[in-house]
Amino acid sequence: MKPAAITDEMSMQRLRMVDRLRDNYKIADQQVLDVMARLPRHRFVPEAIKSQAYNDNALPISSGQTISQPFIVARMTELLELTGKEKVLEIGSGSGYQTAILASLAQSVFAIERLPNLAELARRRMQELAISNVTIRTDDGTNGWQGRAPYDAILVAAGGPDVPQPLIEQLKIGGKLVIPVGEDRKSQILIRVTRRNRDVLREDFGPCAFVPLIGQHGWSALR
Ligand code: SAH
pLDDT band at 220 (very low <50, low <70, confident <90, very high): very high
| DSSP code for 170 | T
90 lines ligand 1 (CB under 6 A): no
**Distance between Cα 165 and ligand 1 center (Å):** 18
160 lines ligand 1 (CB under 6 A): no
How many whole angstroms separate alpha carbon 177 and alpha carbon 160? 13
68 lines ligand 1 (CB under 6 A): yes
pLDDT band at 223 (very low <50, low <70, confident <90, very high): low
What is the reported pTM? 0.97
Render pLDDT for 182-204 as a digit per residue (tens, 0 to 9): 999 999 999 999 999 999 999 99
Q: Residue 65 pLDDT > 80, yes or no? A: yes
pLDDT band at 5 (very low <50, low <70, confident <90, very high): confident
Q: Residue 55 pLDDT > 80, yes or no? A: yes
101 lines ligand 1 (CB under 6 A): no
**Which residue among 154, 214, 220 is best mutated to probe the pocket of ligand 1, counting the most ligand atoms within 8 A of its Cβ?**
214
Q: Which atom of ligand 1 is nearest to the CA of 98?
A: 1
Q: Residue 7 pLDDT > 90, yes or no? A: no
Please say whether the beta carbons of 213 and 91 come within 8 A: yes
Say what the pLDDT of residue 192 is. 98
**Which residue among 41, 44, 59, 66 is best mutated to probe the pocket of ligand 1, counting the most ligand atoms within 8 A of its Cβ?**
66
Helix, strand or coil for residue 21? helix
113 lines ligand 1 (CB under 6 A): yes
Catalytic residue, chosen from 51, 68, 187, 220, is 68
CA distances, 26 to each of 16, 59, 74, 143 (Å) = 14, 22, 10, 33
Render pLDDT for 132-177 as a digit per residue (tens, 0 to 9): 999 999 999 999 999 999 999 999 999 999 999 999 999 999 999 9
Say what the pLDDT of residue 102 is. 98
Q: Rounded to an integer, what is the distance from CA 102 to the centroid of its chain?
A: 8
Render pLDDT for 26-47 as a digit per residue (tens, 0 to 9): 999 999 999 999 999 999 999 9
Rg (CA), the chain: 17
| Residue 214: strand pairing partners | 219
Say what the pLDDT of residue 2 is. 72
How many whole angstroms separate alpha carbon 75 and alpha carbon 63? 25
Question: Is 132 assigned a catalytic role?
Answer: no
